[in-house]
Amino acid sequence: MKQTIAILFLGINILSCSNKTVPTMGNTNNKKTLTYLAIGDSYTIGEQVQGKDSFPNQVYSLVKKDFSNFTEPRIIAKTGWTTDELERGIIAADKAEPLQVSYDFVSLLIGVNNQYRGSTVENYKPEFEELLKKAIRFAGNNAAHVVVISIPDWGVTPFAKGRNSNKIAKEIDAYNAAAKEIGSTYDVHYIDITPWTREAATDNSFLAADGLHPSSKEYKRWAEKIAEFFKSRL
């Protein structure tokens, strides 16, 4: 009788142990992987800073701290690209290395080179809208997981010395207003980093060595806002 009770107790103990939850490192959000596609121009690739210091890669590092299944971003961007060049660049990138059918998050930052080359806001609007619709499709038609980032004001940088900084600021503001308005019609998230970039007028620590592009310190501020948004959706 005692032997039977002992065996029964042992069986219950083993069953109890087998039902315990084994702790895991990081929040996996019950998904195998979390993916991120970043599309844009020099501001997205992180011109003049190390790859790890670009804002998409800083976003990756920040989100991965809480979500271990967040993977390194796929970046499609090139210095100098305008909206139409980004459109062609996405097609070329897909041919070279096929894109996934969908991503968990997509960021879009484009337009500074349109403004720099003297293109009008009216020309920018339809091309930006097409890119935004493509970004939403890349996010599995989940507009709530798409973020549009405003265009920095390069008019305050040493690169712009001798140019009309007030004119540049007004044009950048017009471009950003258009992007924000279009974004709102599709219910995507919009992050305004432009005021931060204007601080470079009195603090060159926010600029890279070329006196034009943001430094890793500046990108960190963007990344923190974007990462905060991503994590709020997980």
* Helix residue ranges per DSSP H, 23-164: 42-45, 55-64, 83-96, 112-116, 121-138
Helices 121-138 & 83-96, crossing angle to 10 degrees? 30
Residue 3 domain flag: no
Q: Do the Cβ atoms of 179 and 194 come closer than 8 Å? A: no
Q: How confident is the model at residue 210 (pLDDT cuts 50, 70, 90)?
A: very high
* pLDDT of the residue at 16: 42
DSSP 8-class letter at 152: P
User: What does the pLDDT read at residue 10?
Assistant: 39
Question: Which pLDDT band holds residue 46 (cuts at 50, 70, 90)?
Answer: very high
Cα separation, 87 vs 98, in Å, equals 15
Is residue 8 assigned to a domain? no
CATH code for position 87: 3.40.50.1110
Q: How far apart are CA 105 and CA 198, in angstroms?
A: 27
* Tokens describing residue 143: 């507009």
Q: Residue 194: which H helix or E strand, with range?
A: helix 194-197
Summarize pLDDT for 73-131 with one digit per residue, the tens: 999 999 999 999 999 999 999 999 999 999 999 999 999 999 999 999 999 999 999 99
Q: Is residue 74 part of a domain?
A: yes
Residue 95, in any domain of the structure: yes
When the pLDDT of each residue in the chain is averaged and rounded to a whole number, the result is 90
Domain that holds residue 171: 29-232
Instruction: Give the integer Cα–Cα distance in Å for 24 and 105.
Output: 24
pTM: 0.87
Higher pLDDT, 14 or 209: 209
Number of domains in the chain: 1
